[in-house]
Amino acid sequence: MDADHGELPITTVDGTTTITARFIKGVDKRATITRGWSDFFRQAHMEKGQAYVFAFKCTFKGLGLTVYSI
DSSP tag of 16: S
Cα(27)–Cα(30) distance, integer angstroms: 7
pLDDT digits (tens, 9 = 90+) for 32-69: 999 999 999 999 999 999 999 999 998 888 889 999 99
pLDDT at 69: 95
Residues whose CB is less than 8 angstroms from the CB of residue 50 and which lie 6 or more positions away in sequence, other chains included: 69
pLDDT-derived band of residue 29, with 50, 70 and 90 as boundaries?
A: confident
Name the pTM for this structure: 0.81
Dihedral of CA 60/64/69/70: which sign? positive
pLDDT-derived band of residue 31, with 50, 70 and 90 as boundaries?
A: confident
Residues whose CB is less than 8 angstroms from the CB of residue 3 and which lie 6 or more positions away in sequence, other chains included: 25
In 3D space, the residue among 36, 38, 39, 2 whose CA is nearest the CA of residue 22 turns out to be 36
pLDDT at 3: 59
pLDDT at 2: 55
